[in-house]
Amino acid sequence: MPFSLASMVGAGGGFLIVPALVLFAGLPVHLAIGTSLLAIVMKNAAALGGHIFAVSINWPITLAFTALAIVGSLFGARLAARISAKTLRTGFGWFVLLMGIFVIGAELIPLLN
């Protein structure tokens, strides 16, 4: 269900998968975030597999972003191990709220002009 709902709102899905795993599956927030990231990686790997021979890929940029993502994930894993689940949950909630406000604002501004 999170993937379908995420597709309907035009999102990657991570911000819906994490709360769904915490609330409905009862997973701890750290495990829910890791599970969400794994699902996103698998979905994107499947998309890459389907497009790799059909489109032109700028490999230097792709590999640079991949390297940055790997470094960021290693840093994030170390940081997450030091943050309490409550703080992580609160921070994630604020992040989702701010991103929601940003998305709504980005959609409304063109309508007002």
C-alpha 62/C-alpha 73 separation (Å) is: 16
pLDDT at 3 over 80: no
Higher pLDDT, 113 or 55: 55
Residues 39-54 have pLDDT tens digits of 888 888 888 888 888 8
pLDDT value of position 36: 82
Percent over 70 (pLDDT), the chain: 87
| pLDDT digits 0-9 by tens, 81-101 | 888 888 988 888 898 889 888
Rounded-to-integer distance, Cα 80 and Cα 49, Å? 31
Amino acid identity at 98 = L
Q: How many alpha carbons fall within 13 Å on the CB side of residue 105?
A: 6
pLDDT tens across 60-81, in order? Answer: 998 999 999 999 989 988 887 8
User: Are 22 and 8 within 8 A, CB to CB?
Assistant: no
